[in-house]
Amino acid sequence: MPAPLQLLIIEDEAVLALDLRATLQAEGYGVVGIAATGPRALELFTQHPEVAGVLCDIHLQGPWNGIETARRLLALRPVPLIYLTALADQPTLDEALTTGPAAYLPKPVSAASLRAALALALHSIARSVTPAAEPETTPDTLTRDTILQLDEHVFIKDNNQFVRIPLADILLLEADNTYTALRTSTRKYALRLTLGAVLERLHFAQLVRVHRSFAVNIQRVESFSDTEATVAGQTVPLGRQYREAFLKQFQFR
Going residue by residue through the chain (253 aa), what tens digit of pLDDT does each one get? 456 889 999 999 999 999 999 999 988 899 999 999 999 999 999 999 989 899 999 999 889 999 999 999 988 888 899 999 886 677 888 888 888 888 888 888 888 888 888 887 775 423 333 344 444 444 444 555 678 887 788 888 777 778 889 999 999 999 876 788 899 988 888 888 888 888 888 878 889 999 988 999 999 999 999 999 999 899 999 988 888 888 888 877 6
pTM of the model: 0.51
Domains of the chain: 6-123 (3.40.50.2300), 147-247 (2.40.50.1020)
The region that residue 168 occupies, defined by phi over 0 for left and psi between -120 and 50 for alpha, beta otherwise, is alpha
In degrees rounded to 5, what are phi and psi of residue 137?
-85, 125
Contact 118, 105 (CB under 8 A): no
